[in-house]
Amino acid sequence: MAVTPTDTEYVRTRSTATVGSGRNLLDVKALKMHFPLTQGIIFQRQVGAVRAVDGIDFFVEKGETLGLVGESGCGKSTTGRAILQLYKPTAGEVKFDNIELTTLGGEQMRRMRRRMQMIFQDPYASLNPRMTVGNIIGEPLEVHNLARGKEKTERVQELLRVVGLNPYFTNRYPHEFSGGQRQRIGVARALAVEPEFIVADEPISALDVSIQAQIINLLEELQDRFKLTYLFIAHDLSVVRHISDRVAVMYLGKIVELADRVDLYEKPLHPYSQALLSAVPIPDPAVESKRKRIILTGDVPSPVNPPSGCRFHTRCWKAQQICSEVDPEFIEHEPRHWAACHFPGA
Amino acid sequence: MPELLAVRDLHTQFFTRDGVVRAVDGVSFELAAGETLGLVGESGCGKTVTALSLMRLIPMPPGRIVKGAIMFDGQDVLKMDDDEVRGIRGNNIAMIFQDPMTSLNPVLTISRQISEALELHLKMDRSEARKRTIELLELVGIPSAKKRVDDYPHQFSGGMRQRVMIAMALSCNPKLILADEPTTALDVTIQAQILELLKGLAKEFRTAFILITHDLGVVAGMTQRIHVMYGGKIVEKADTGELFANPKMPYTWGLLRSIPRLDEHRKSKLLPIEGLPPDLIAPPPGCRFEPRCQYRRDICREQEPELKHIPNAKADHEARCWGTQEGGWLVATDWRREIGDTRVLEEIKQEVAQLPAEAVRAAEAETPPPPPTP
């Protein structure tokens, strides 16, 4: 896979080519990520744990975009980081291209990272202000021994062109760029090592509305061009619907529903997904005046001490006795449509 | 309807080391009692500065309201002395800020913070104010308000804090509430709760609202009229239904085309607005949107269009665009079908990519990040 800036043709093939290809790039099984809560100054005792991610299963097929949505604190960013082994998962398996990542040693993992990269949320905090753009994008090339000297400079210029920036900006510092342009630099840095898989953690939420669309389009173009696979983490359901092939909805450390984008948005099975979708305002007063909104009461409970049984039962209008006692299993209710609920459907 | 607020030719500027930032550059609008108005635009377009100017909360220096009039209930807010303004602030005009964490005082209890306005403006005594505070907290839906009234802001969640802010804004029965991105910092399900609450309160108390946001979805369901701002100016005014059904300004078209919709049926490509927001120190000489507009012609660069009524639209629909005004080349354009000259789009992309970094920095001059120390 080579970055060829001359290749300007933009052909859309992805949505038909990937469905049912049956080849999983990423397999996540029973993944748990708990952060210990400690007490004491010298002798630290563990008094509890923040169960940020508490047993999730999903797969990502090669070439597809899996959208991961949920409200803040539901564990979606933690999931992304645990997959890339930026956190050491508490339990569970993460298989990338059939290689188990959780048991890999440092050097082996470092080599794997060439194949998986991340784009961060905040384009202001994720670029080192004291490094030039050339150094920021060139660093991964050096770390992975991909290019040096003149070759490196040429690669960096090529990458800048690919993400729609002036290739002669290599000596500039991040503060000289606008938010949207900075996010493009972040994308170029992720692309530098020619990865197969990119975790995009809220890549557009810090940007202005008119700039968001520029970055979404850029990510889509790059996916088609370099056959990338995305895990797209966001809280904006409209954006996730637009960019994803399949969508997973998280609530308090668990995936509550996972389906193809059309299925999930047209006939959500889990009450939380239904409430979430109905809460999104639609920019059309005619539609807005007719919509019925499900307003959830209360806030998301604490992941330190999640509710018993189904975690959503404290805010669910369908909840019955069983919901507070038994944690519902994550079952395939319809082909390729999973949900964890005792009373799924409308 | 009687006018509650009339803003005339408001100019608010910030005098910085790099030059004069014309944050609000000739804004005029009216608001009737009990009306909800949406002020929409991207960051840096001057919508927050407009709201702060209405309450005379512009930090001086570096800011100054250099020109204009703000008639509130028949009085010019700009001609009042400090005491008179204080009498209006929080009493007749209240504000709900974007970030409920930084706008509440972390070292005072909720009861102290809400009672302060009650004691000051309504001359209530302590116990009366406390009673009213509890009532207000119940009104905005805070569970077991009696117990929570003595809590500190950090003991509340984001959504609850925003409810406290709303209770505070309502405390003196203001005639006008300015809500500056009241739900931007909140999650969608909490946003739905807060919007529902605001809608109910607006109806119940017949309070006028100015809702400031960048989210077209939020204003669609909440407001009666919408003003779109760009580069310190109002570029389009219309009632809400009309604005979404029949927008008449290429910037509004761009905004509507660049957001993915939850109810879109097929996967269509987004059409972003290319380029960068204008530099408010040295704004474009003609139309502020001209450098990013794919429908532009020479006149757009040379002369600034006025905000005026346009053909093929409702009587009170105004736009600031040469193309859609009487005799323009966009009068009959269907914005959904005709996306303009794609060559111009490429041209804009090239222009921005080649732009010297100084210009980019100037465009963002309002929040200059610290320079790196090598």
Q: What percent of chain B has pLDDT over 70?
A: 92
Strands A254-260, A337-339: pairing kind: antiparallel
Q: Do A129 and B370 touch (CB under 8 A)?
A: yes
User: How many whole angstroms from its chain centre is CA A153?
Assistant: 30
pLDDT level of residue B133 (50, 70, 90 thresholds): very high
Torsion angle, alpha carbons of B13, A173, A112, A228, to 10: 60
B246 → chain A, closest CA residue: A284
Q: Which tokens in the block code for residue B316?
A: 């009170």
Spatial separation of the C-alpha atoms in residues A63 and A19, rounded to whole Å = 9
- Nearest CB to B276: which of A164, A178, A289? A178
If phi over 0 gives left and psi between -120 and 50 gives alpha, with beta otherwise, what is residue A221?
alpha
Q: What is the mean pLDDT of residues B57-64?
A: 86
Strands B63-72, B75-76: pairing kind: antiparallel
Q: Is A6 a domain residue?
A: no
Q: For A232, list phi and psi in degrees, rounded to 5.
A: -105, 110
Interface test with A, best of B196, B253, B258 (most A CBs within 10 A): B258
**Gap between the terminal Cα atoms of chain B:** 61
Q: How many domains does chain A have?
A: 1
Question: Which residues from B are below 8 Å from A165, CB to CB?
Answer: 353
- Nearest CB to A217: which of B220, B262, B272? B272
**Omega before B61 within 30 of 0, i.e. cis:** yes
Q: Is A79 a domain residue?
A: yes
Neighbours of A125 (CB within 10 A): 10
pLDDT level of residue B317 (50, 70, 90 thresholds): very high
Question: Collapsing DSSP states into helix, strand and coil, what is residue B195?
Answer: helix
Q: What is the mean pLDDT of residues B246-251?
A: 91
pLDDT level of residue A28 (50, 70, 90 thresholds): very high
Q: Taken in order A130, A132, A137, A139, is the CA torsion positive or negative? A: negative
- Nearest CB to A210: which of B191, B215, B255? B255
**Domain extents in chain B:** 3-223, 270-363
Q: Is A272 a domain residue?
A: no
B275, B296 in Cβ contact below 8 A?
A: no
CATH number at residue A191: 3.40.50.300
pLDDT digits (tens, 9 = 90+) for A302-324: 888 889 999 999 999 998 999 99
Distances (CA, A) of A205 to A179, A181, A239, A311: 11, 14, 10, 27
Asked whether residue B370 carries a pLDDT value surpassing 50, the answer given is no
**Half-sphere exposure at residue B99, Cβ-oriented, CA atoms within 13 angstroms:** 5
Asked whether residue B120 carries a pLDDT value surpassing 90, the answer given is no
H helices of B63-207, in order, are: 82-88, 110-121, 126-139, 145-148, 158-170, 188-205
pLDDT reported for residue B90: 82
- Higher confidence at residue B44 or residue A184? A184
CA of B1 vs chain A CAs: smallest distance (Å): 23
Query: Is residue B268 within a helix (H) or strand (E), and if so which, with residue range?
Result: none
Q: Do B273 and A213 touch (CB under 8 A)?
A: yes
Which letter does DSSP use for residue B369 in this model? Answer: P
Q: Which tokens in the block code for residue B261?
A: 């919709």
Q: Is A306 a domain residue?
A: no
Q: Do B244 and A239 touch (CB under 8 A)?
A: no
Length of chain B: 374
Angle between helices B126-139 and B158-170 (to 10 degrees): 120
Neighbours of A183 (CB within 10 A): 30
Spatial separation of the C-alpha atoms in residues B64 and A188, rounded to whole Å = 41
* Fold exhibited by the domain B3-223: Rossmann fold (3.40.50)
Q: Which of B39-53, B122-136, B226-240, B330-344 has the lowest mean pLDDT?
A: B330-344
This complex has an ipTM of: 0.79
Q: Which of A39-48, A322-331, B123-132 has the lowest mean pLDDT?
A: A39-48
- Nearest CB to A276: which of B189, B245, B261? B189
Q: Which domain holds residue A259?
A: 20-37+47-267
Q: Do A289 and B221 touch (CB under 8 A)?
A: yes
Which letter does DSSP use for residue A327 in this model? Answer: P
pLDDT digits (tens, 9 = 90+) for A79-125: 999 999 999 999 999 999 989 999 988 889 988 999 999 999 888 88
In chain B, count of helices (H) and strands (E)? 13, 12
Q: Do B360 and A214 touch (CB under 8 A)?
A: no
Interface test with B, best of A208, A219, A264, A274 (most B CBs within 10 A): A208
pLDDT reported for residue A147: 85
Q: For B322, list phi and psi in degrees, rounded to 5.
A: -65, -35
Asked whether residue A5 carries a pLDDT value surpassing 50, the answer given is no
Q: What is the mean pLDDT of chain A?
A: 87
Spatial separation of the C-alpha atoms in residues B220 and A282, rounded to whole Å = 7
**Half-sphere exposure at residue B205, Cβ-oriented, CA atoms within 13 angstroms:** 22
